Amino acid sequence: MEQKEKKQPKIAIVCDWLTNWGGAERCIMEFHKIWPEAPIYTLIFNEKKMWEFKDVKIHTSYLQKMPLAKRKWQFYLNQMPHAIEQFDLSEYDIVFSNSHVVAKGAITKPATLHICYLDSPTRYLWDYMYLYIKEMRITKVGIIDSVLKKYIKRRFHAIRIWDFNAGQRPDKIIAISNYIRNRTKKYYRRDTDVIYPPVDAGLYQPVDESEIEDYYLVVGRQVDYKKTDIVIEAFNKLDLPLVIIGEGSALKKLKKLAKNKKIKFTGRIPDADVKRYYAHCRAFIFPQEEDFGITPLEAQSAGRPVIAYRAGGACETVIENETGVFFDEQTPDAIIKAVQNFDHKKFDSVKIREHALRFDTEIFKKNIKEYVEKAWEEHLEKIKY
């Protein structure tokens, strides 16, 4: 008897928002490449900034039409839990969410398999809450600012309850690092698997040591928690060349902070130009604590060593004294000391690249695809009646 061909599951991708290009958005693009027919459901889509997704079928929430939502999405954090629950995903067999805020809270049918690729438990609600509120600038009037912050803190309590419950909704959670697996266990009481995010190692190639130029490099979204300010303060004192690539809400402030004329801001530039900056820098500097951090791996794919803060995902992607070095405090002085003690000639660019290849995009896509296929087979067995 001829065996009946298995029906392919209908898949939808769900993410928080698509407003600025970064590591999470690169992952979402790779999910789209794995399942090109799957539509993407997202709260807010900025088509002008996210032109990479211009040909993708995208469904947005009612927040899309709210004033300034595409640029000031933070104003609508309070409404995001409600908005994500309004997506009707009942026609799909598999919902694959990529979440760092609310996408994990998408509502699905009992028969639907929901797998969440979790960037992090929502940082501003948990361990980063106090820092987030402290750094928040709402108005220019101190008293009003203080009152609003107290209100926001109370609202965070209610949203935190929703966030914990939302963390129970996926059938399976994949954490982006062991660091996030531990945080997920702490805040959601969930066990997770780990699949590291991808780096497109094929984009980068080491250059000969004679082609290395006299500058250090920072790449990423220029927002406060990325700690680019302490790098700038360090290089103001070091009086060494520094290139900063990327845009973000802190960019204007960072430019004012830069007193060293050897500090160059490029804004967002084409990948081909980023590739060149990676390949020719003395070292890549990574001062922030990240859930994973793709940019250090991009630098390593180009054969360049990393000077990183010893915390978070960097501890899983940088091998001390083989692919980079660490500093232990997020201060300009710690960076100054690390740079002064750093000798890029002690590092082998070929070995650095070989390490980065373990995180290549093709390996990532293979791992995700196999994981989902296996989970789907297991899920079918569970829902048999």
List, as one string, the DSSP characters of 254-274: HHHH---TTEEEEES--HHHH
Q: Which amino acid is at 221?
A: R
| Rounded Cα–Cα distance for residues 243 and 241 (Å) | 7
Mean pLDDT to the nearest integer, 312-339: 97
Q: Please report where in the chains the tokens 């129970």 appear, as a residue.
A: 168
For residue 58, pLDDT beyond 70: yes
> Is the Cα dihedral 353, 357, 358, 360 positive or negative?
positive
Q: Which residues contact 22 (CB under 8 A, 6 or more apart)?
A: 220, 221
Q: Which amino acid is at 121?
A: P
For the chain, the structural domain boundaries read 11-198+361-382, 201-358
Q: Supply the pTM of this predicted model.
A: 0.85
| Rounded Cα–Cα distance for residues 59 and 91 (Å) | 14
Q: Where does 201-358 sit in CATH, by number?
A: 3.40.50.2000
Give yes or no for a contact between 287 and 263, defined as CB atoms under 8 angstroms apart: no
11-198+361-382 shares its CATH topology with 201-358: yes
| Rounded Cα–Cα distance for residues 132 and 144 (Å) | 17
Strands (E), the chain: 11-15, 40-42, 58-60, 94-99, 113-118, 172-175, 193-194, 216-219, 242-245, 263-267, 283-286, 306-309, 324-327
Question: Helices 332-340 and 228-238: crossing angle, nearest 10°?
Answer: 60
> What's the pLDDT band for 288 if we cut at 50, 70, 90?
very high
pLDDT at residue 202, rounded to an integer: 87
For residue 3, pLDDT beyond 90: no
% of the chain with per-residue pLDDT over 90:
74
- CATH of range 11-198+361-382; options 3.40.50, 3.20.16, 1.10.3470, 3.30.70: 3.40.50
> Is the Cα dihedral 305, 197, 254, 278 positive or negative?
positive
For residue 1, pLDDT beyond 80: no
pLDDT at residue 345, rounded to an integer: 87
pLDDT at residue 180, rounded to an integer: 96
For residue 93, pLDDT beyond 60: yes
pLDDT at residue 72, rounded to an integer: 83
SS3 at position 333: helix
Question: Which residues lie across from 320 on neighbouring strands?
Answer: 324
pLDDT at residue 146, rounded to an integer: 64
For residue 187, pLDDT beyond 50: yes
| Rounded Cα–Cα distance for residues 14 and 102 (Å) | 10
Number of C-beta neighbours around residue 208 at 10 A: 7
For residue 282, pLDDT beyond 50: yes
Lowest mean pLDDT among 111-120, 131-140, 336-345, 352-361: 131-140
> What's the pLDDT band for 133 if we cut at 50, 70, 90?
low
Give yes or no for a contact between 248 and 222, defined as CB atoms under 8 angstroms apart: yes
**Average per-residue pLDDT for the chain:** 91
pLDDT at residue 194, rounded to an integer: 97
Mean pLDDT to the nearest integer, 75-89: 94
> What's the pLDDT band for 148 if we cut at 50, 70, 90?
low
Higher pLDDT, 140 or 1: 140
Q: Please report where in the chains the tokens 């939808």 appear, as a residue.
A: 12
For residue 141, pLDDT beyond 50: no
pLDDT at residue 73, rounded to an integer: 82
